[in-house]
C-alpha cells in the first residue's frame, strides 16, 4: 500500500490497490482506483515539483476566481483526502469528486516539471 494512503488510515480492504500493479480487482470500482492513484501522484508531485518549479506561475479560473497551479493541486489533494477520511453523504462526495476532475481537466497540460 502507498505511504500516502497508509498515512490517511486507508485499509487494504477499502482499497485493492497495490503500487503500480494492475489487478482484476482494481477494475471493480475505477473511481476508487483513480482517486487513489491521483491522490498519491499529486502528493508526490507537490513534494517534488514545489522545490523545482514556481507552481504559482500558471493560473486558472475556477469558480470565478483566479487561482495558482499550486492552489489547484492543494485543492485536489484536500478534496481527495476528505473523500478517504470523512463520513459523507452521496451528494457531497460526488460534488467534491466532480470538482477534483474539473480542476484536473484545466491543469492536465501543465502537470510536469
Tens digit of each residue's pLDDT (9 = 90 or more) over 23-32: 566 566 778 8
Distance, CA of 28 to CA of 23 (rounded, Å): 10
pLDDT of residue 71: 98
Residue 11 DSSP symbol: -
**pTM to 2 decimal places:** 0.79
> Which is nearest to 69 in space by CA: 52, 90, 87?
52
pLDDT of residue 56: 95
CA dihedral of 35, 73, 48, 36, whole degrees rounded to 10:
-10
Contact 111, 45 (CB under 8 A): yes
Q: Which residue has the cell 481537466?
A: 105
pLDDT of residue 27: 61
Low-confidence ranges of the chain (pLDDT < 50): 17-18
Length of the chain: 113
Surface-to-core class of residue 34, CB atoms within 10 Å of its CB (0-12 exposed, 13-18 middle, 19+ buried)? middle
pLDDT of residue 89: 77
pLDDT of residue 86: 78
pLDDT of residue 69: 97
Amino acid at each position: 500500500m502507498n505511504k500516502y494512503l497508509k498515512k490517511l488510515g486507508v485499509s487494504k480492504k477499502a482499497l485493492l490497490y497495490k503500487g503500480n500493479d494492475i489487478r482484476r480487482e482494481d477494475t471493480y470500482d475505477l473511481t476508487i482506483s483513480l482517486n487513489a492513484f491521483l491522490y498519491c501522484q499529486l502528493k508526490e508531485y507537490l513534494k517534488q515539483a514545489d522545490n523545482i518549479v514556481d507552481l504559482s506561475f500558471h493560473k486558472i479560473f475556477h469558480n470565478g476566481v483566479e487561482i495558482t497551479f499550486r492552489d489547484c493541486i492543494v485543492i485536489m489533494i484536500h478534496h481527495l483526502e476528505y473523500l478517504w477520511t470523512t463520513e459523507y453523504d452521496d451528494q457531497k462526495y460526488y460534488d467534491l469528486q466532480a470538482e477534483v476532475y474539473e480542476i484536473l481537466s484545466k491543469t492536465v497540460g501543465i502537470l510536469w516539471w
